[in-house]
Copies of this chain bind each other. A is one copy, B any other.
């Protein structure tokens, strides 16, 4: 099985280096966090199990980043690698509490929400428990969002942790989008014990922090450009 080595049109827009290649798939919300030259791994065809891809990531997950001689997979690890190496546009704030908060919010998305509802895991669960797993995904997302909302309420402004886009936003944006589009989590009616006393302006109308952030993210050109629908392999999977 050969991996698809076509480059996407986005390749030329890769912000960092012409040697950055991201092995990815349009349905991967983890991949969405990373800027790249796009190299499709067709998850539907099982290309993640090919010997060639297994050498890159024996866990068979996208994304995998190849940066010259460095190979790194897992979106949190990829993010940290990029953040350390490409310092033009830092996405971790300098202030220690804000920096810790960003690491933590990203980590909650990365380890306490997304892994519990990723496609492979839901398929494994259905095989093992013989039950539909979508309610599990929704439960997991609601639980995580409820915590995130409480965690962010003293910090969120235009973006998750203030007036600038940071790591927390990079991880939250695809997580919220996927919650809404893929798992039908209703953000408008979504209420899980959040304290809404902090709501103001549009936030007051929209009703909660996560929905406010969703609306903010959707308006960003970067969010639109990196969305799954805009990836060149999306035409194949959603013609």
A92-120 contact mask (Cβ, 8 Å, vs B): 1 or 0: 00001101110110111011101110000
Q: For residue A193, which residue of chain B has the nearest CB?
A: B58
Known interface pairs A116-B115, A116-B116; A58-B151 also in contact (CB < 8 Å): yes
C-alpha gap A73/B144 in the complex (Å):
14
B107 touches A147 (CB 8 A): no
Contacts of A72 in B (CB 8 A): 100-101, 103-104
C-alpha gap A108/B57 in the complex (Å):
11
B70 touches A97 (CB 8 A): yes
A61 touches B101 (CB 8 A): no
- Shortest A196–chain B CB gap in Å is 14
A124 touches B139 (CB 8 A): yes
Contacts of A73 in B (CB 8 A): 104
Q: Which of A64-82 contact B (CB under 8 A)?
A: 69-74, 76-77, 80-81
**A125 CB within 8 Å of chain B:** yes
18 example contacts (A-B, Cβ-Cβ < 8 A) are as follows A54-B150, A58-B147, A58-B150, A59-B144, A59-B147, A61-B112, A69-B97, A70-B100, A72-B100, A74-B104, A76-B76, A76-B107, A76-B111, A80-B103, A116-B121, A124-B139, A125-B129, A129-B131
Contacts of A103 in B (CB 8 A): 72, 74, 76-77, 80-81
**A8 CB within 8 Å of chain B:** no
Q: For residue A59, which residue of chain B has the nearest CB?
A: B147
C-alpha gap A27/B76 in the complex (Å):
26
- Shortest A225–chain B CB gap in Å is 26
Contact of A139 among B60, B61, B110, B128 (CB under 8 A): B128
C-alpha gap A104/B144 in the complex (Å):
23
Contacts of A45 in B (CB 8 A): none
**A183 CB within 8 Å of chain B:** no
C-alpha gap A114/B115 in the complex (Å):
10
Contacts of A151 in B (CB 8 A): 57-59
A122-153 contact mask (Cβ, 8 Å, vs B): 1 or 0: 00110011010001100100001011111100
